[in-house]
Amino acid sequence: MANDSKKFVLQILCPDRSGLIAAFTQGIAQTGANILDLTQHTAEDINTFFLRALVECEIDAVPKIKEHFSKMENEKSMEWQLHDAEHKTKLALFGSTTDHCFYELLLSHRDGALPCEWTCIISNHTVLEPLARAFNLPFFLVPSYIPRPEQDKKFNEILQASQTEGIVLARYMQILSKEFTETWKYKIINIHHGFLPAFKGAKPYHQAWAKGVKIIGATAHFATADLDQGPIIWQSVQQVADTGSIEQFIQIGKEVEKRTLLYALKLWLEHRVFLHGERTFVL
């Protein structure tokens, strides 16, 4: 490919039928694009075909790709998207008082492991302000006591001004409104401990320890109006010993949360997450 070539991620979702892979790969080839990586999956229980392809092409071939697959939409009853693989998605970090997930994400980004750009840190406390300064990020305080509509207004003003494209809730301990989650539908990624719904409320690790659990887990998911019920992106678990203390449980829990959120965010940024209704498929 020439120096003016670019890489794109093509996502396709459609009813399954024979000949799909051949049709799509031939379509890519006809536009002059080169396939660098391709993953496909058929969910037989819902008769749905998924495809993710990393392609490289000349800049002037992009309109050809879009035109080609637009013509196939009705014929294949397909949904498709073409993403610039080199685009750094602009993300805002929401947090409260804990910082373990923040450090994991910020340090991973600094090391080049996350293809994104942090726009700001938004919090309902001032605890994370020094962290924002340390990483040269704007910090915005939106207290919890402000009425919900006013909170939403402030959130959206900040996010719009910073051209934010997505949100990561890094242990943000405040329920978001239905209106806000609808505005940012499937663009908010949240992390929570994997004991829900068995151990709801305060001190879930204390509750889990008291019940003698054998594993600790965490779930990264899209935030929706239903608390912790959004489509799941990734989950991780860690075996724990009965001889462990509550303090050890909490520390292990933090480690699981960090790696689960980081991996889920990377999957989303790389356009590996497909949504079919409220169900996710990761390719």
Catalytic residue IDs: 228
Helices (H), the chain: 20-30, 62-76, 100-110, 129-134, 148-161, 178-183, 204-211, 246-269
246-269 and 100-110 helices, crossing angle to 10°: 40
- Other beta carbons within 10 angstroms of residue 110's beta carbon come to 11
Instruction: With CA atoms as reference, report the closest residue to 131 among 106, 150, 113.
Output: 106
Size of the chain in residues: 283
Taking the C-alpha atoms of residue 272 and residue 39, their distance in angstroms, rounded to an integer, is: 9
Taking the C-alpha atoms of residue 127 and residue 172, their distance in angstroms, rounded to an integer, is: 12
- Does residue 197 have a cis peptide bond before it, meaning omega lies within 30 degrees of 0? yes
Which residues have C-beta within 8 Å of that of residue 259, sequence separation ≥ 6? 104, 236
Taking the C-alpha atoms of residue 118 and residue 247, their distance in angstroms, rounded to an integer, is: 32
Taking the C-alpha atoms of residue 139 and residue 131, their distance in angstroms, rounded to an integer, is: 9
81: three-class secondary structure by DSSP: strand
Degrees, nearest 5: CA angle 65-68-71 = 145
Rg over alpha carbons for the chain, rounded to the nearest Å, is 21
Give the strand pairing for 139-141 and 89-95.
unpaired
